[in-house]
Structure 1
Amino acid sequence: MTVHDRRAFIIGGTGQIGRATAARLTTAGYAVTLGHRRARPDATHPDGVTSVQVDRADTEALLKALDGHDLVVDTVAFAPHHGAQLARLAGRVGSLVVISTGAVYQAPGLPVPIPESWPTVERDAHDYPAGKAALERHLLATPGLPVSILRTGVLHGPYGTSLDHWSFIKRALDKRPHVVIAQDGRSRFPTTAVANVAELICLCAQRPAARVLNIADDPLTVAEIGARVFAVMGHEAEIITFEGPSRPDGLGFHPWNVPEPIVFSMDRARAELGYRHAVSYDDALRADIGWAVPAVSEAEAAGGGWQDVFPDLVARHGPDVWFPYAAEDAYVTGG
């Protein structure tokens, strides 16, 4: 039985990052508390994990719950007022890790790869990336706050409401003989396995400091991602590409559809903390598939579909561009 001699608190602990992090921390000897907005009397947790009800809007109650922990992880902070809350933890916790996003990097003209020193979006913007960037600035300017800010790519892992790889997973389930991809299949957009986020969080906890770190998978092209998904699922399909963006009918669409490569540098995490991927890309895919396929099957049995399991995919790209099989078949046959 693991001895849990350190204490960690995860804000947003039931999301995909929170679940993966709780599992990783318990193996590292932490007793983990998950913070919830609503009471969950029927919730069950593995050894070393408990949960408490806490209202994020009640700063005093939140700080009281966090006081004295060796590690606090915030997976859901996204605005400057969250930074003001967390800044008050200076001197009160051993280490703070806050999840941010690579969307904070200022574009266009991004280098390949993007280092953490690249400028972030303007202060006067009022969208999600700007909110995250303002949150980062507030925390990094707080004296005595050992905060590690992790900039992720598009997350993938069990229990998420978005899984870009579903674009290929469903095609394998449907036994499609081919897939047509725009931008010559060369688009690169960073993905991040939640198991690897959990690994980096654990490393940050061991060496508290004020820092910013990228966290992303190996920078594969979209065609390489498709091939890896098909290989893991034992499916053979021809990957056909064409130049330029996807068509209005969805032909060529994929969620990594960017004309210029976006790649995160992982040099700092490796040099400062000795980071190495906790799971390979293929093993991360196996975890994605192992959760997603039964989850979609359950939704379909209840009269729904994959859109109910991954509502964020629909919110980001719409419902109609994902699987234009008729258009693909016509393109391949020259019809």
Structure 2
Amino acid sequence: MTVHGRSAFVIGGTGQIGRAAAARLVAAGYAVTLGQRRLRTDAAELDGVVSVQVDRADTEALLKALDGHDLVLDTVAFTPYHGAQLAQLAGRVGSLVVISTGAVYQAPGLPVPIPETWPTVERDAHDYPAGKAALERCLLATPGLPVSILRTGVLHGPYGKSLDHWSFIKRALDRRPYVVLAQDGRSRFPTTAVANVAELIYLCARHPAARVLNIADDPLTVAEIGARIFAVMGHEAEIVTFAGPSRPDGLGFHPWNVPEQIVFSLDRARAELGYRPAVSYDDALRQDIEWAARAVSEAEAGGGGWQDVFPDLIVRHGPDVWFPYAAEDAYVAGA
């Protein structure tokens, strides 16, 4: 902890949110410590950032490392156990920010847009959204804990293991003349640029309180997202659509493939903290594209491919649905 100025501790500092938040906080004058399970040589790339090894399972050592900081950011809290750890920070830190997810919202029948007051998933479920929802309840029920819980959409930005926008970026790199989208290309599913998460983290650090905030990009349809990516990359491609879900061979597949419109309200972040995006959507896309193209090129040079850069895309959707170019060619030729 620094004597002069403000200090921040980031749990999970080598992930894409941790890196973006560290850069934003350093720019604002914070001394930043990144906590990691295993120290990595590339973790502290900024002046004003140091890395320490912390075992999350050792609560006593964790709390000792966090004690007294102006901001504690936890990017890797998933369960009530983590909530019980963080609850012990009441009265010991200036502000606590915990990354959650919009997946906690109870569906179906979601309103458009979804406010933070919408009910979250049931307590008796045992999956990722239920774990996050239980974590939230634990923290919000802790007296005197200045915790800001940020519910994100699907994250995009450098250093991520998943990038849904790759579905369009690769097509532009491959100079594909068209892309075929299911659900008439009208699906809307929240995406969130990590640079804008970092901006909201900074605002929460400066204005501690117990709160829940949504954070997401503009609510574009999947066809609009594709058009923006192609425009940023200077690529001309026709966007062909059809009604209904994607086919088993992958035709029409895209990661935003949902039948209902899912949109987050940002009214609370704007009203309470004056939140405005730190980067525009197009500028965020430029960051995505530059990093992804370089990372995939390096992977290919080493004998790998995009699947090695974005393994979570394969975990979520499988390996075979992403780029069914032959099926697209046949569909467009027969249209």
TM-score when scaled to structure 2? 0.98
Partner Cα distance (1:144, 1:180) in 2: 52
1:46, CA displacement in angstroms?
Answer: 1.5
State how 1:165-204 maps to structure 2 within 5 Å: 165-204=165-204
- Identify if the C-alpha distance between structure 1 residues 197 and 4 changes in structure 2 by more than 3 Å, giving closer, same or farther: farther
Partner Cα distance (1:39, 1:20) in 2: 18
- Identify if the C-alpha distance between structure 1 residues 139 and 167 changes in structure 2 by more than 3 Å, giving closer, same or farther: same
Do residues 121 (structure 1) and 121 (structure 2) align?
yes
SS of the counterpart of 1:97? strand
In structure 2, the partner of 1:316 is 316
State how 1:75-224 maps to structure 2 within 5 Å: 75-224=75-224
- Counterpart of 1:219 in structure 2: which amino acid? P
Partner Cα distance (2:118, 2:97) in 1: 20
In structure 1, the partner of 2:302 is 302
SS of the counterpart of 1:62? helix
Do residues 234 (structure 1) and 270 (structure 2) align?
no
In structure 2, the partner of 1:17 is 17
Partner Cα distance (1:132, 1:172) in 2: 36
Query: For the Cα contact (< 8 Å) 1:91–1:144, is it kept in 2?
Result: yes
Partner Cα distance (1:234, 1:39) in 2: 40
SS of the counterpart of 1:195? helix
State how 1:226-265 maps to structure 2 within 5 Å: 226-265=226-265
SS of the counterpart of 1:208? coil
1:209, CA displacement in angstroms?
Answer: 0.2
In structure 2, the partner of 1:68 is 68
Give a deviation string over 1:197-236, Cα, whole Å, max 9, x none.
0000000011100000000000000000000000000000
- Counterpart of 1:153 in structure 2: which amino acid? G
More displaced 10-residue stretch of structure 1: 318-327 or 35-44: 35-44
Partner Cα distance (1:168, 1:46) in 2: 31
Stretches of structure 2 lacking an aligned partner (at least 5 in a row)? none
SS of the counterpart of 1:35? strand
1:47, CA displacement in angstroms?
Answer: 1.1
SS of the counterpart of 2:253? coil
Partner Cα distance (1:118, 1:40) in 2: 39
SS of the counterpart of 1:111? coil
- Counterpart of 1:270 in structure 2: which amino acid? R
- Counterpart of 2:78 in structure 1: which amino acid? F
SS of the counterpart of 2:203? helix
1:43, CA displacement in angstroms?
Answer: 5.2
1:10, CA displacement in angstroms?
Answer: 0.2
- Counterpart of 1:206 in structure 2: which amino acid? R
Partner Cα distance (1:42, 1:121) in 2: 38
SS of the counterpart of 1:192? strand
- Identify if the C-alpha distance between structure 1 residues 240 and 136 changes in structure 2 by more than 3 Å, giving closer, same or farther: same
Stretches of structure 1 lacking an aligned partner (at least 5 in a row)? none
SS of the counterpart of 1:316? helix
Partner Cα distance (2:162, 2:129) in 1: 18
Query: For the Cα contact (< 8 Å) 2:44–2:51, is it kept in 1?
Result: no
Query: How many pairs were matched up?
Result: 333
- Identify if the C-alpha distance between structure 1 residues 42 and 155 changes in structure 2 by more than 3 Å, giving closer, same or farther: closer
- Counterpart of 1:102 in structure 2: which amino acid? G
- Identify if the C-alpha distance between structure 1 residues 196 and 104 changes in structure 2 by more than 3 Å, giving closer, same or farther: same
- Identify if the C-alpha distance between structure 1 residues 42 and 170 changes in structure 2 by more than 3 Å, giving closer, same or farther: closer
1:45, CA displacement in angstroms?
Answer: 2.7
Query: For the Cα contact (< 8 Å) 2:188–2:262, is it kept in 1?
Result: yes
| Structure 1 runs of 4+ with >3 Å offset | 39-44
Partner Cα distance (2:119, 2:42) in 1: 45
What fraction of aligned residue pairs are identical, expressed as a percent? 88
Query: For the Cα contact (< 8 Å) 1:200–1:275, is it kept in 2?
Result: yes
- Identify if the C-alpha distance between structure 1 residues 267 and 250 changes in structure 2 by more than 3 Å, giving closer, same or farther: same
Give a deviation string over 1:133-190, Cα, whole Å, max 9, x none.
0000000000000000000000000000000000000000000000000000000000
- Counterpart of 2:111 in structure 1: which amino acid? P
- Counterpart of 2:56 in structure 1: which amino acid? R
1:40, CA displacement in angstroms?
Answer: 3.8
Give a deviation string over 1:115-134, Cα, whole Å, max 9, x none.
00000000000000000000
- Counterpart of 1:315 in structure 2: which amino acid? V
Query: For the Cα contact (< 8 Å) 2:13–2:43, is it kept in 1?
Result: no
Partner Cα distance (2:40, 2:235) in 1: 41
TM-score when scaled to structure 1? 0.98
Partner Cα distance (2:44, 2:19) in 1: 13
Report the RMSD for the aligned CA atoms in angstroms: 1.1
